[in-house]
């Protein structure tokens, strides 16, 4: 308990206290500055897009890994966790090597918002796959086969039979991916160029404030960032509890 307090709680209390150092006025001025607003807006919008894309691609990958059968499937399934195991700075460098200024494919997404989205897609890849995959495994394929034999088209089978059962898992996976994307730093820092108003995300903005010794400003934006990801996580928690109750 003491360990938890010293390691986690005390520092967080310090951030909250520091963000209010100059009173509410100073807090508001720090988070409503044009550069801070631009960074926060960019972060939330890109994270939303990334979460939505993940919902589609993650479901697709999970479906292929569960219902399809091909050689090397097990290895592919294990590889899904690679972004969790790979240090974020390595993830950023990896994308930069192939899709950066010295790209052998002549595709250069560095210093663009597309690059940021790609980095976020890379680091959040496992969330939706790993939350949908176990649910799909427990679904009996019989219901799908029955629907298909009664003349339902594949799209109908998916929308009417499969989707309703996996929707909660997709949502919670996408929510986790969003929370992760909002705070992401390591994979973006090399790739985004960090140009204020264009490619500067919130975590990079905070980092810049710390470097230029504007600690109160950094703390204020940190609190906003923290509230955004907490709101999402609490939302997932409530949603999950309701889903469980509905099933009972």
Partner 1 sequence: MRNRLALRTLALGYLAVLLLVPVGFVFYRTFEHGVSAAFDAVTTPAATHAFWLTIELVAIAVPLNTIFGVVMAIALVRGRFRGRSIVSAFIDLPLALSPVVIGLALILVWGTKGWFGQWFVDNGLQIIFSFPGLLLATIFVSLPFVVRETVPVLREIGTEQEEAAQTLGARPFQTFWRVTLPAIRWGVAYGVILTTARALGEFGAVSVVSGHLAGSTETLTLHVEDRYEAFDLTGAYAAAALLALIAVATLVSMTLLRRRRGDVGWASS
Q: Which stretch binds partner 1 (CB under 8 A): 30-38, 63-71, 160-168, 192-200?
A: 63-71
Shortest distance, position 246 Cβ to partner 1, whole Å: 20
> Which of 41, 45, 141, 154 lies at the binding interface for partner 1 (CB under 8 A)?
154
Residue 54 interacts with partner 1 (CB under 8 A): yes or no: no
Asked if residue 120 lies in contact with residue 50, where contact means CB atoms within 8 angstroms, the answer is yes
Decide: helix, strand or coil at residue 200.
Answer: coil
Q: Which stretch binds partner 1 (CB under 8 A): 26-34, 108-116, 182-190, 192-200?
A: 182-190
Residues 102-121 that bind partner 1 (CB under 8 A): 104, 118, 121
Q: Which is nearer to partner 1, 166 or 190 (CB)?
A: 190
Question: Count H helices, E strands: the chain?
Answer: 14, 0
Residue 139 interacts with partner 1 (CB under 8 A): yes or no: no
Residue 55 interacts with partner 1 (CB under 8 A): yes or no: no
> Which of 23, 24, 71, 78 lies at the binding interface for partner 1 (CB under 8 A)?
78
> Which of 50, 162, 174, 206 lies at the binding interface for partner 1 (CB under 8 A)?
206
Whole-number Å distance between alpha carbons of 88 and 92: 6
Shortest distance, position 199 Cβ to partner 1, whole Å: 16
Q: Which is nearer to partner 1, 81 or 145 (CB)?
A: 81
Q: Which is nearer to partner 1, 76 or 244 (CB)?
A: 76
Residue 37 interacts with partner 1 (CB under 8 A): yes or no: no
Residue 146 interacts with partner 1 (CB under 8 A): yes or no: no
Residue 215 interacts with partner 1 (CB under 8 A): yes or no: yes
Shortest distance, position 228 Cβ to partner 1, whole Å: 10
């Amino acid at each position: 308990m003491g360990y938890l307090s010293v390691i986690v709680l005390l520092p967080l209390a310090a951030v909250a206290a520091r963000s209010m150092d100059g009173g509410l006025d100073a807090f508001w001025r720090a988070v409503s500055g044009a550069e801070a607003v631009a960074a926060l807006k960019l972060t939330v919008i890109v994270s939303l897009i990334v979460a939505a894309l993940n919902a589609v691609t993650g479901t697709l990958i999970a479906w292929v890994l569960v219902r399809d059968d091909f050689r090397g499937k097990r290895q592919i399934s294990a590889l899904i966790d690679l972004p969790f195991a790979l240090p974020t700075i390595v993830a950023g460098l990896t994308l930069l090597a192939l899709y950066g200024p010295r790209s052998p494919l002549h595709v250069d997404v560095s210093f663009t918002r597309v690059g940021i989205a790609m980095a976020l897609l890379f680091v959040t890849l496992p969330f939706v796959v790993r939350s949908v995959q176990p649910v799909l495994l427990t679904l009996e394929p019989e219901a799908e086969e029955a629907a298909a034999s009664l003349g339902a088209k594949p799209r109908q089978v998916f929308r009417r039979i499969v989707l309703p059962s996996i929707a909660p898992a997709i949502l919670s996976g996408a929510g986790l991916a969003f929370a992760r994307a909002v705070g992401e730093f390591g994979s973006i820092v090399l790739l985004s160029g960090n140009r204020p108003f264009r490619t500067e995300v919130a975590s990079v903005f905070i980092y810049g404030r710390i470097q230029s010794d504007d600690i109160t400003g950094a703390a204020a934006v940190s609190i906003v960032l923290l509230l955004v990801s907490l709101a999402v996580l609490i939302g997932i928690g409530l949603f999950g509890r309701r889903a469980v109750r509905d099933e009972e």
